[in-house]
A and B are shown apart, each in its own frame.
Chain A
Amino acid sequence: MLRYILKRFLTMIVTIWIIVTITFVLMISIPGSPLNEERGTSESVQRNLESYYNLDQPYHIQYILYLKSIVTLDFGPSIKQPNQTVNDLLGQGFPISFELGMVTILVALLSGVTLGIIAALKHNGFIDYMAMSVAVLGISIPNFVLSTLLIQQLAVNLNLLPPATWASPLHMVLPVAALATGPMAIIARLTRSTMLEVLTQDYIKMARAKGLSPWKIVIKHALKNALMPVITIIGTLLAGILTGTFVIEKIFAIPGMGRYFVESINQRDYPVIMGTTVFYSVFLVVMLFLVDIIYGLLDPRIKLHKKEGE
């Protein structure tokens, strides 16, 4: 197990290094620099600023300096946000984005799996068709459209929920709903189809022949097997939810990390671009790693490590 984690850790570092490198190349290939706005700063001031942010160095030196900042986890000061280091920005924004993302994936998982199970058990019945219609709708409507609809109807017209900002659990409802619907629909459809397949297996018939109750059969015998593919796609869904948060945070005026991510690119705020990118990629890679661990825990046939002599 330890060896497996170590191996995965090394590949994670390589993955992150590749992401960082690509981001760096993309970043410097965008025309313009954070400092060359037409502000009429004198040439000497400009040069001073450039040397302060190491922008006067050749690219390969800048690259090495970036790598160094990543390794030491100190991304330095932001160029555009006054008196804020990148770490400050991450510290403010990330907890909120993390909360939004985690609540979303939890809601999507719980509701999606439940919906899928019910649809599978009532296969070809009214509930099944209803659940699957909702699922298709959920997949087809982009979350930014859904969020404006939700704000218009539930917040503005009916005045049931706060339309924006991030202050109380009640404020979470609309953004989470907008963000979770798509993943929920995907999970529901997947759960339904794998559940239907699992329910025809011999071991389910055998469980029935033992005289177990239907719920016990579903929870104990079917669900664990049916959830394997769902666990697999959680990794991909997480990536979708993370990028989804950028849009949702903007629409609902949530002070998360997404704002900085987008703004920093527009403003060529190099340290912030680097910081947010690295942060998100580390987060995602760690999540995928956790998914793999869970996979191994759920299915005893999947061995994460090779035993000696095998």
Chain B
Amino acid sequence: MEKILEVKDLHVHFSTYGGIVQAVRGVSFHLYKGETLAIVGESGCGKSVTSNAIMKLIPSPPGRLVRGKIQFHDKQLTELSEKEMRSIRGVDISMIFQDPMTALNPTLTIGTQLMEGLKQHKKISSLEAREKALEMLELVGIPNPDERLKQYPHQFSGGMRQRIVIAIALICEPELLIADEPTTALDVTIQAQILELFEKIQRETGVSIILITHDLGVVAKVADRVAVMYAGKLIEEGDKREIFYHPQHPYTKGLLKSVPRLDATEAELTPIDGTPPDLFSPPKGCPFAPRCPMAMEVCLRKYPKTKSLTTTHKVDCWLQDKRAKKLLASSSRK
């Protein structure tokens, strides 16, 4: 399979009055053509910052891409100028935002907002742009597109607006779509519809999707592969089955246990105790160690190396070390 995106050792810092926040601390992952990669993790773990960094949309100042490479096909996005980046945004890489209620400009018609990206990037007549816009509205399932084109965002419901946001993101036929919590602001029935729309779009256009979410239900539905982030690090990565059925990192395990299940026998959920570390001065060792039920002394001292379990499954955890396995084996024998 062809890799269309490769992120290597990405570091993003934010300067604030309180000091420097190390929001993303060495994240690496890649994306194949036509697949959906879900990036999961709790609030503040750096998911959105990572996705904004790919688009180079991190406000600077205070944000700064300190280190790392983002390769899109054969282009190094980190080395491109703002102007060159503009010819990629919306055309090759598009983005969908969390809250459809605020993502659309209240003073412009849906038609204008749909077509402006198209007009910006492609030499196209107004009539053709209109045709394309109608086609997109049809694709995302908006009835009476002809009439709807002339309407303003406040005349649409939340779910409809998210469909329009998706249509705007897809109108220039991008290869990569970054969806930052696209269903979080919607109610559950609408969520399901939007997720189905994602699947349909991927089937019809072959777009690759990076799905940022904290909702494991969403991940289970649409993702091919899953990357789990914690405190600015990518701690476990694997295909969907590996993550859901054979999670290796104690954080991933904890995350899965904290989700309600319909088939569970115990009624109570198991939350992960404690809170994520302060990213002003992130710990030297594994950031999860203070909350980890399996933590060893080494976990607090040194960050573990990435260990590949299968060709797809990777995890950053000392428990994967041979010595830790021996230790565990001996302690369980006693």
Q: Per-residue 0/1 for B272-296: is the Cβ within 8 Å of any A Cβ (1 yes, 0 no)? A: 0000000000000000000000000
B91, A203: Cβ atoms closer than 8 Å: no
- Which parts of B94-130 form the interface with A (CB within 8 Å)? 94-95, 97-99, 102-109, 116-117, 120-121
B152, A300: Cβ atoms closer than 8 Å: yes
B97, A205: Cβ atoms closer than 8 Å: yes
Answer yes or no: A220 CB below 8 A from chain B CBs: yes
A301, B105: Cβ atoms closer than 8 Å: no
Answer yes or no: B65 CB below 8 A from chain A CBs: no
Q: How large is the interface on B (under 10, 10 to 19, 20 to 34, 35 or more residues)?
A: 20 to 34
Binds A, one of B82-90, B206-214, B225-233: B82-90
Answer yes or no: A225 CB below 8 A from chain B CBs: yes
Residues of chain B lying within 8 A (CB to CB) of residue A171: none
Answer yes or no: A224 CB below 8 A from chain B CBs: yes
Answer yes or no: A206 CB below 8 A from chain B CBs: yes
Partner pick for A208 among B89, B104, B108, B116, CB 8 A cutoff: B89
- Measured CA separation A225–B153 after assembly (Å): 14
Answer yes or no: A168 CB below 8 A from chain B CBs: no
User: Given A210-B117, A210-B120, A225 and B87 touching (CB < 8 A)?
Assistant: no
B86, A225: Cβ atoms closer than 8 Å: no
- Which parts of A195-243 form the interface with B (CB within 8 Å)? 201-203, 205-213, 216, 220-221, 224-225
Answer yes or no: B134 CB below 8 A from chain A CBs: no
A211, B117: Cβ atoms closer than 8 Å: yes
B168, A206: Cβ atoms closer than 8 Å: yes
Residues of chain A lying within 8 A (CB to CB) of residue B85: 211
Residues of chain B lying within 8 A (CB to CB) of residue A300: 106-107, 109, 152, 154
Partner pick for B97 among A202, A221, A224, CB 8 A cutoff: A202
User: Given A209-B94, A300-B152, A301-B154, A203 and B105 touching (CB < 8 A)?
Assistant: yes
B106, A225: Cβ atoms closer than 8 Å: yes
Contact count A vs B, C-beta below 8 Å: 76
Answer yes or no: B165 CB below 8 A from chain A CBs: yes
Q: Per-residue 0/1 for B155-169: is the Cβ within 8 Å of any A Cβ (1 yes, 0 no)? A: 000000000010011
A206, B120: Cβ atoms closer than 8 Å: no
Q: How large is the interface on A (under 10, 10 to 19, 20 to 34, 35 or more residues)?
A: 20 to 34
Answer yes or no: A299 CB below 8 A from chain B CBs: yes
- Measured CA separation A93–B88 after assembly (Å): 60
- Measured CA separation A206–B121 after assembly (Å): 15
- Measured CA separation A210–B95 after assembly (Å): 8
Answer yes or no: B23 CB below 8 A from chain A CBs: no
Residues of chain A lying within 8 A (CB to CB) of residue B91: 211
Closest to B165 in A: A206
B107, A224: Cβ atoms closer than 8 Å: yes
A211, B89: Cβ atoms closer than 8 Å: yes
Residues of chain B lying within 8 A (CB to CB) of residue A137: none
User: Given A202-B97, A301-B152, A301-B154, A209 and B106 touching (CB < 8 A)?
Assistant: no
Closest to B106 in A: A301
Answer yes or no: B194 CB below 8 A from chain A CBs: no
Answer yes or no: B57 CB below 8 A from chain A CBs: yes
Task: Classify the secondary structure of A's interface with B.
Answer: helix
Closest to B88 in A: A211
Residues of chain A lying within 8 A (CB to CB) of residue B102: 201-203
Answer yes or no: B218 CB below 8 A from chain A CBs: no
Q: Per-residue 0/1 for B56-81: is the Cβ within 8 Å of any A Cβ (1 yes, 0 no)? A: 01000000000000000000000000
Answer yes or no: A298 CB below 8 A from chain B CBs: yes
B104, A203: Cβ atoms closer than 8 Å: yes
Interface centre among A206, A207, A300 (most CB of B within 10 A): A206
Closest to A199 in B: B59
A206, B104: Cβ atoms closer than 8 Å: yes
- Which parts of A149-171 form the interface with B (CB within 8 Å)? none
B116, A210: Cβ atoms closer than 8 Å: yes
Answer yes or no: B55 CB below 8 A from chain A CBs: yes
Residues of chain A lying within 8 A (CB to CB) of residue B168: 206, 210
- Measured CA separation A224–B55 after assembly (Å): 26
B104, A213: Cβ atoms closer than 8 Å: no
A205, B57: Cβ atoms closer than 8 Å: yes
- Measured CA separation A206–B153 after assembly (Å): 14
Partner pick for B116 among A201, A212, A298, CB 8 A cutoff: A212
**Known contacts A209-B95, A211-B117, A212-B116, then 20 further A-B pairs from the complex at CB < 8 Å, ordered by chain A residue:** A201-B102, A202-B97, A203-B104, A203-B105, A205-B103, A206-B95, A207-B105, A208-B89, A210-B89, A210-B90, A211-B85, A211-B88, A211-B90, A211-B121, A212-B90, A221-B105, A225-B105, A300-B107, A300-B109, A300-B154
Binding site for B on A (CB under 8 A): 201-203, 205-213, 216, 220-221, 224-225, 298-301
Q: Jot down 18 A-B pairs with beta carbons below 8 A, ordered by A.
A: A202-B102, A205-B97, A206-B97, A206-B103, A210-B90, A210-B116, A210-B117, A210-B120, A211-B87, A211-B88, A213-B86, A213-B120, A220-B108, A299-B106, A300-B106, A300-B107, A300-B154, A301-B154
